[in-house]
Chains A and B, each alone.
Chain A
């Protein structure tokens, strides 16, 4: 099936300048005005994404992963949300400063998104063909017949059997995994340079999960697109991403190349997350969990937001906000004890 997928690919390589950053986010802050006060959903996030690279954003529910990515293409519901400050440089242009009409030209054309729940992200009243045709008619100026054949082609690309007849079905006639494939087909039909996948496998069966991830990986490789993969599943990002960002309470807690982060985490929160992944080889016993629950982002404590749950929290943690420590060239950690944690990780023997 995979060979068929590759055979069906008709994408041109778009990689022009591999060293340049496709996306650069600088100090992005997105706040929400709620009755409970100001919620700092994303509070000063910065990262770069090179062409062809994959970035993973990991964190618990409510840590600001999705808001970050909705901010990138300016889809924050406003009110109550507003982007307070920051820059989102996409191919050198600040998306946050563009006119709405110009952003709309980028959405779907150059930056595409895949959403979490394939069951609800397709319009139940529109045939698959119409939903797929809409995008290419809009962005690529396809005629109806061009768009239609392109839609069939895209469905074949993402591995939907008998695409020619299925293209005129309604979403409810597809299974969850098939719908997610349709979503991917939609997202990729204009050959975007950046694909944002917001928990693309969370709502799917484990067997389907692997297929979908493999599909994204294959398509990414053949189109040269950059990918931002949002997930709360560390197992998903391990084999998929080049860089990782660990988010907690709207802040970046740790940022590092994936292999480095897994091998030598420099933040107690990351360590906790890694320990929470069940180890199938270990004898059945208590599963590890980080004590406590994520904080109320509207009422963050004065010091480190993770301090109340942190096992190595000291006095300083509860009243002083931690520094963003640079551990290596590409490894950053938000912790008072980042260096110590990093050293400990080195000495620990990890399988």
Chain B
């Protein structure tokens, strides 16, 4: 504070030759000039407030959004994720309208249409019918990649929603109640954490093995969701631990608000920043896990496809028909990158430490 104030340099004080020096100089070397800026601001504030001027404030979210838009990688991620989501949702329908092909359509003359390279007709001439070629059953690969995107994104989003629901409430309750209950709840999390979650998922999936492909997908949602909430619970608990000692919580308690209401109406909204960031970063992680499980044969079963199962199919023929691996693999990689960029961008945008920007 003191360093900001202008000081009188020493040489100004020296009497100039020929002039009578001031008998009692009002400033001496190193004196601090008090301009009383604080007071002036306070008064202006009061006057403005009393006139009822609305001092336009930028809300936290608008502020964060502005910072997010400044981050090119995050914007890139956002755009790519948006495109892939839209394409996955609408793509298969459009393809069906244009070519009559569905992701699980196996042509009757399989031998002729099997594993056609991209942008080619079965006879080797150029064709738009299969922009990504076909798989070894003769199914249109683009349609399958897009439909696989549906499943992959859905797994990511639903598992993340489950983790949000369970993780946030579990962590918030543990953090707020504290003491023995907190200890008990968090040790349970530790126990679950110490088990390799892949194995939990595999066990869940093999014990409750479903007969239908759709049933298998639902199981996958449940299995991934049930393990992905652990870290979320820890993050939220940590946030709540610091928030619950803030005065606004005490103020809320002093007005007679009940404990559940304090936790979920007053405290949880305040944890949203880190929660959003972590949720965004959970989506790619879960998608990767899903791909891994499908790769091992535990995930999505044909005729449904996910990026993981498509990669598995593709890897069997990697030497001869590389596009069967490359297209789903690239799409997945691009999506995961984008989601991670977006997550990083959100973290930077919502992190109060970065607010100096």
B258→A104 contact, CB < 8 A: yes
Residue from B46, B247, B258 in contact with A117 in the complex, judged by beta carbons closer than 8 Å = B247
Give the bracket for the number of chain A residues in contact with chain B: 35 or more
Which residues of B (252-272) have their CB < 8 Å from a CB of A?
A: 252-258, 265-266, 269-270, 272
In whole angstroms, how far apart are the Cα atoms of A105 and B46 in the complex? 36
- 8 Å CB contacts to A: which residues of B44-67? 45-46, 49-52, 54-55, 57, 59-60
Task: Report the Cα distance A78→B51, complex, angstroms.
Answer: 45
State the CA gap A175–B251 with chains docked (Å): 18
Q: How far is the CA of A79 from the CA of B177 in the complex (A)?
A: 11
Asked if residues B251 and A121 are in contact (CB atoms below 8 Å), the reply is yes
Residues of A within 8 A of B42 (CB): 205, 207-208
* Most chain A CB within a 10 A radius of its CB, from B51, B250, B269: B250
CB interface residues, B 7-49, toward A, < 8 Å = 42-43, 45-46, 49
CA distance A162 to B49 in the complex (A): 10
* Stretch from A16-24, A106-114, A242-250, A327-335 at the B interface: A106-114
Assess the A107–B255 pair: CB atoms within 8 A. Answer: yes
Nearest-Cβ distance from residue A156 to partner chain B, whole angstroms: 12
Docked-complex contact B255 and A134, CB < 8 angstroms: yes
Bound CA span A169–B59, Å: 10
B256 and A170 contact, CB distance less than 8 A: no
Q: Which residues of A contact B54 (CB under 8 A)?
A: 162, 165-166, 169, 173
| Pair A173/B248 contact, Cβ less than 8 Å | no
Docked-complex contact A113 and B251, CB < 8 angstroms: yes
Please measure, in the bound complex, the distance between the C-alpha atom of A105 and the C-alpha atom of B255, giving whole angstroms. 9
Q: What is the distance, in angstroms, from B55's C-beta to the closest C-beta of chain A?
A: 7
* CB of B196 closer than 8 Å to a CB of A: no
Answer whether residue B246 sits at the interface, using C-beta atoms and an 8 A cutoff: yes
Docked-complex contact B248 and A207, CB < 8 angstroms: no
Contact call A123/B266, Cβ cutoff below 8 A: yes
B179 at the interface (CB under 8 A from A): yes
CB 8 Å contact bits of A150-187 with B (1 = contact, 0 = none): 00000000000110011001101101011000010011
Q: Which residue of B lies closest to A172 (CB)?
A: B57
State A238–B255 Cα separation when bound (angstroms). 28
Q: Which residues of A sit under 8 angstroms from B255, Cβ to Cβ?
A: 107-108, 112, 134-135, 138, 186-187
Query: In the complex, A134→B255 CA distance in Å?
Result: 9
Verify A73–B254 contact, CB threshold 8 A: yes
| B46: chain A residues within 8 A (beta carbon) | 175, 177, 207-208
Q: Provide the residues of chain B in CB contact with A116, threshold 8 Å.
A: 247
Do A106 and B256 have beta carbons less than 8 Å apart? yes
Query: Which chain B positions have C-beta within 8 A of A122?
Result: 248, 251
The interface bits of chain B over 219-254 (1 if a CB of A lies within 8 angstroms of the residue's CB, else 0) are 000000000000000000000000000111011111
Is residue A84 contacting chain B, with contact meaning CB distance below 8 A? no
Which bracket fits the contact residues of B? 20 to 34
A172 contacts across to B, CB distance below 8 A = 57, 59-60
Complex CA–CA separation, A224 to B269 (angstroms): 37
CA distance A79 to B42 in the complex (A): 41
Known: A125-B269, A177-B49, A207-B43. A115 touches B57 (CB 8 A): no
Chain A residues whose CB sits within 8 angstroms of the CB of B265 once the complex forms? 126, 134
Taking a contact as CB atoms under 8 Å apart, the answer to whether B254 and A75 are in contact is: yes
Whether B266 contacts A79 by the Cβ 8 Å rule is: no
CA distance A1 to B50 in the complex (A): 9
Which B residues lie within 8 Å of A104 (CB)? 256-258
Closest beta carbon of chain A to B237's beta carbon, Å: 17
Chain A residues, Cβ within 8 Å of B52? 161-162
Complex interface: chain B residues within 8 A of A141 (CB): none
* Cβ-defined partner of A173 (8 Å) among B45, B57, B258, B270: B57
List the B side residues contacting A115 at CB < 8 Å. 247, 250-251, 254
A207 to B47: give the CA distance in the assembly, Å. 11
Q: Does A120 make an interface contact (CB < 8 A)?
A: yes
Q: With an 8 A cutoff between CB atoms, is A26 at the interface?
A: no
Cα–Cα distance between A185 and B117 once the two chains are bound (Å): 73
> In the complex, what distance in Å separates the CA atom of A107 from the CA atom of B252?
10
Using CB atoms and an 8 Å cutoff, list the residues of chain A in contact with chain B. 1, 73, 75, 79, 104-109, 112-113, 115-117, 120-126, 134-135, 138-139, 161-162, 165-166, 169-170, 172-173, 175, 177-178, 183, 186-187, 205, 207-208
